[in-house]
Structure 1
Amino acid sequence: MEEFKTRGQRRRFQTLEKRRKLVSGAAVVGTGLAIAPVALTLPGTQVEAAEYNYQQADAAQSLINQIGSTASQIAAANDLYASVMIAQALLESGNGGSTLSQAPYYNLFGVKGYSDSNPVYLATQEYLDGQWVTMNEPFQTYNSYWESIQEHANVLKSTSFASGTAHYSGAWKSNTSSYQDATAYLTGRYATDPSYGSKLNYLISAYGLTQYDTPSTGATTTTTEVSTSVSATTTTTDSSNSSSTGGSYTVVAGDSLWGIASKYGISVDQLMANNGLTSDVIMIGQQLSV
């Protein structure tokens, strides 16, 4: 029996079930999915809805520090954007503050546990029929963040509802020109939230997550959009290669607006305003007023 790995898969199934008025246990024609086991029949731990909380935004950097290197390695090995995966982890886990994302569960991406022998039950919100609905769902548990990130990569690479067609192939680096293409593709497919992509883009920009991305081996990378074309390992030498003079700064490989703003103790908004920027795209050699 097929299992639902993401909220988007669950949502698509429920929509098809409603439209076609299928009875429980009937297969969904053309999707490769079947009715999932009824949640109440699965053993697991019940967690109160109130425990599924989010920490303040300042916890985000702590989680990034914990998973950044692992995400970069796993993403590079799977033709994926580490920046997108980290942003998904931040969004799905509430900056690492949700019960589900913490020990002993380590589930960063909200992966459902329909086939897990010992899932944990949590209240979660799903976007159904144009409104948010709270549902009690079983979620998978892991032994570490590494396991959670690795399985997430497996989901993005191997999920298929039709023979020979990878469901999330539009989010792979080799099939995109930037992380924005990947986040746009995931919206409505991986998650039901219609603003999912814009939320991921904000997190990637705000926390300079493109520093964890490595170049695609299957597509041509650009030299102007530094945030999507440089290796994460390059950032280790930024401090020795960067240059600043008084109130100006020269952009080097691996830089991001967030990183530069943090270095000079100003906000990203202020840095953008100082330089008349309307996006987070910066170029090597560009002079910025700080």
Structure 2
Amino acid sequence: MKQKMQWKLLWLFTIPLGFSTTNLVGADEITIMAEQAALVAEKSQSNAQQIEISTGNIPPSKEKTEDVTLNFIEQIGETGREIGQKEGLYASVMIAQATLESGSGQSQLSQFPYFNIFGIKGQYEGQGVSLPTQESDGMGQMYTTHATFCQYENYEASLKDYAKLMKNGLSYDPIFYQGTWKTETRDYTEATRFLSGRYATDPHYQEKLDNLIETYHLTKYDEAKNIGNEESDYILPTDDAIITSTYGKREQGFHRGIDLAVKQGTDIIAAKEGQVTRSEYHPSWGNYVTILHSDGLTTLYAHCKQNLVQPGQIVNQGETIALAGSTGHSTGPHVHFEINRSQNLEQNQLLDPLQVLK
């Protein structure tokens, strides 16, 4: 039996110090901390190394920085998908809330050894941590006190406890969060609208959650993961191409993808349907395009003469997205093609395109 802290029903607003949140409190099992600050609205980032695209041993760009929010989402995404499928909840909403509440996993409460990414109060299996918080007296005055927050062994436990709350509600109202269930809603926007004013008093709570879901394409986690051989769905991004360089180690370092020699101006096509996430210039890749696909993989097409698509655009498999060229660090017209498990294009998440292509 889980040991829970017993709470009196209080109409207070509580926030751990260092957070900028406003939330309804009150439950005799656990209470929820709602809206995290604009900490996430402005994506925090850290420096990344530059990548030499031809050899692939340097990250995407000197100027570009690693997206902390994206890394956090990738840490919890698949677990969120699994729990969402099992419990009939929108994983997209769950992941967006965790991101918002924890400041993309950067808050003290969300990190080791607490792993509390939703700000849930009380105890979890007898484990809790007392942290200073700020509370409102209901008349706009804030004061500092201490509160006990659930302590988890990992993110998975925090996600499961949150899902239990959504499904079981509060002790005095088991269907308190029924409006977040897939069976009671048509799409994730109805769930985020329901949470606004109930999970959080912030009038912009739905807007912030929806923005995270749209920006990071979180609806892909609402679908069951296809365990079949989805790789066979991918096709070569050009016709009549000659492979001049394969994926893997080579003399100068590590080549991140394959190079396809083609004539200047040859159509480059989408290897699979998806949504364009980048269409820009990079000093090594030159003009390049990336596409996020429904299975979570991202494809990259570099050294383009001209990009023909814009970020956010939905493209079909075989649709022309760019013209082949020799921009960036290139010795002749060709297409540099990559497939990556990470939207952040991390080298340790790369796949060999020849093992994926149809």
Same fold (TM over 0.5): yes
How far apart are the structure 2 equivalents of 1:173 and 1:137? 33
Who is 2:105 aligned against? 96
Who is 1:56 aligned against? 44
Change over 3 Å in CA distance of 1:160–1:141 after alignment to 2: closer
Moved more, 123-132 or 175-184: 123-132
Q: Is the 8 A contact 2:91 2:221 kept in 1?
A: yes
Who is 1:25 aligned against? none
Q: How does 1:154-165 map to 2 (within 5 A)?
A: 154-160=164-170
How far apart are the structure 1 equivalents of 2:69 and 2:186? 27
Task: Give the CA deviation at 1:13.
Answer: 3.7
How far apart are the structure 2 equivalents of 1:208 and 1:107? 24
How far apart are the structure 2 equivalents of 1:232 and 1:97? 28
Who is 2:230 aligned against? 237
Q: Is the 8 A contact 1:3 1:114 kept in 2?
A: no
Does residue 152 of the first structure (1) align with residue 162 of the second (2)? Answer: yes
Provide the TM-score with structure 2 as the length reference.
0.51
Structure 2 SS opposite 1:138: strand
Q: Is the 8 A contact 2:269 2:318 kept in 1?
A: no
Does residue 191 of the first structure (1) align with residue 179 of the second (2)? Answer: no
Structure 1 gap ranges (5+): 5-9, 16-31, 38-52, 215-230
Q: CA RMSD of the aligned region, Å?
A: 4.4
Structure 1 SS opposite 2:76: helix
How far apart are the structure 1 equivalents of 2:229 and 2:108? 33
Task: Give the CA deviation at 1:113.
Answer: 1.9
What is the aligned length?
228
Q: Is the 8 A contact 1:84 1:179 kept in 2?
A: yes
Task: Give the CA deviation at 1:97.
Answer: 0.7
Structure 2 gap ranges (5+): 13-25, 32-38, 46-66, 239-266, 278-289, 293-297, 323-358
How far apart are the structure 2 equivalents of 1:66 and 1:151? 17
Does residue 14 of the first structure (1) align with residue 26 of the second (2)? Answer: no
Q: How does 1:1-290 map to 2 (within 5 A)?
A: 3=6, 13-14=10-11, 56-57=44-45, 58-113=67-122, 117-123=126-132, 133=142, 135=144, 136-160=146-170, 166-214=175-223, 231-233=224-226, 237=230, 240-241=233-234, 246=267, 249=270, 252=273, 255-258=274-277, 260=291, 263-264=299-300
Structure with greater Cα Rg: 2
Identity of aligned residues (%): 33
Task: Give the CA deviation at 1:120.
Answer: 2.2
Provide the TM-score with structure 1 as the length reference.
0.61
Q: Is the 8 A contact 2:5 2:122 kept in 1?
A: no
Structure 2 SS opposite 1:232: coil
